Amino acid sequence: MMGPMGMRPGIILLREGTDTSQGKAQLISNINACQAVADAVRTTLGPRGMDKLVANGRGVTISNDGATIMKLLEVEHPAAKTLVDISMSQDAEVGDGTTSVVLLAVEILKQMKPFVEEGVHPQIIIRNIRSAATIAVKKVRDLAVFFDISTPEGEDMLLKTASTALNSKLIASHQDLFAPMIVDAVKSLSADVDGLDDLRGMIGIKKIPGGDVRQSFLVKGVAFKKTFSYAGFEQMTKQFADPKILLLNVELELKNEKENAEVRIEDPSQYQSIVDAEWQVIYDKLDSCVDCGANIVLSKLPIGDLATQYFADRGLFCAGRVEDGDLKRVAKATGATIQTSTNGIFEGVLGTCVKFEEKQVGDERFNLFTGCPNDLTSTMVLRGGSEQFIAESERSIHDALMVVKRSLKSRSVVAGGGAVELEGAKHLREH
């Protein structure tokens, strides 16, 4: 139907105020935004790269890890956000090279800018970029050097990849300490088919402020910080050889009835029977934990003062409020199965290890499980002067762990220091 004056009514598809910019001007604006983001991380690249200090409402972060900086920048521009996304995916998949992928992407955009300004269609540009990428990737595969990890040369190659990943990091001067630790931790995972895929779940990193960075160490097994403890904890046995380990997701605490619960009694003496029944419930749970033969009881939920004292009197060790990740690592390492009930516990669900001990590390006390039957899991305990230093050390270790994992999966490496990039560029020019 025609409107007044013979005009058709306007059809509104988008919300009022929506920016519908398109064409050459918008493409150039997108490229400029991406260049601005890249300039923020450009100076962090390489061994001579500088750290960035990023302050926001939540605190201060000092880092030269591209992915961390990109995440903290909180980029608003939609096109520039894609750079943050490629940095994140590089961090998740490869671990290192998060700054390099951003700079490479932006450099490609920068080289394409004159073509856009001259009016070349974006589809023609992207077609040529894709064919160049295919040729470059093929050249990199041809340049790759394969190695066998069962030989000393292969072992040395893994150490070199770990050291290279740490070269541009804050802990570069301590790579002689960290590189062998990283290789040991990842190599123990490669014994299992799926071990490498669950790297974050299998290798724990614990941070303890204070002390010297050279006091950092690797535990072949599981280590976690002593959890909140109740009275009676001091009387517990803190060391066991070949203990039986019971893992629970059960609250071992005397609980009052839920609010608004109503119990009607006809005789005051019946009230005592209700109280006794409540106590009996907790005692039945504790008895079943002791009767199954366990020496160590760990639970994700609280273990109260009554239970703590009860276990201490019978020579057991217990810890409640254990973090989910730590509990799962203990389960994988010791072969125990996490129980959601104390009924019907039998010896098959208990785990074991060669040695359990609680020892002092800096200002903290740590529970250590070593000599586990499933030696895939390991824990790295990091020391350092300040919170920021240790946080950056953890990010650096994570990057190196991921790089060694990729090397173990691909069993091949290429030369670093920009050599492979230059060779790829030379090959493309001659093509």
Query: 240-271 pLDDT, tens per residue?
Result: 888 899 999 888 887 665 556 677 777 777 77
- CA nearest neighbour of 339 among 298, 284, 395, 383: 298
Q: Give strand pairing partners of 142.
A: none
The answer to whether 178 touches 397, Cβ cutoff 8 Å, is yes
**Residue 240: burial class (beta carbons within 10 Å; 0-12, 13-18, 19+):** buried
Q: Which helix (H) or strand (E) holds 361?
A: strand 355-361
Mean pLDDT computed over 365-385: 85
Q: Which residues contact 16 (CB under 8 A, 6 or more apart)?
A: none
Q: For residue 215, what is the DSSP state?
A: G
* pTM confidence score: 0.79
Comparing 376 with 421, which gets the higher pLDDT? 421
Mean pLDDT computed over 49-75: 84
Instruction: Out of 61, 65, 227, 308, pick the active-site residue.
Output: 65
Tell me the three state secondary structure of residue 377.
Answer: coil
In 113-129, which positions are buried (b, 16+ CB within 10 angstroms) versus exposed (e)? eeebeeeeeeeebeeee
pLDDT at 1: 47
The CB density around residue 266, as the number of other CB atoms within 10 Å, is: 6
**Rounded CA separation 182/175 (Å):** 10
Confidence band of 17 (pLDDT split at 50, 70, 90):
low
Instruction: Out of 44, 61, 99, 342, pick the active-site residue.
Output: 99
Whether 98 is catalytic: yes
CA angle at residue 173 from 171 to 175, to 5 degrees? 75
pLDDT higher than threshold 80 for residue 389: yes
Whether 99 is catalytic: yes
pLDDT higher than threshold 70 for residue 305: yes
Mean pLDDT computed over 236-240: 85
Comparing 4 with 103, which gets the higher pLDDT? 103
- Please state, rounded to an integer, the average pLDDT across all residues of the chain: 84
Maximum C-alpha span of the chain: 99
Mean pLDDT computed over 157-184: 87
**Rounded CA separation 182/192 (Å):** 17
322-352 per-position pLDDT tens digit: 888 889 888 888 888 998 888 888 888 898 9
- CA nearest neighbour of 255 among 228, 232, 277: 277
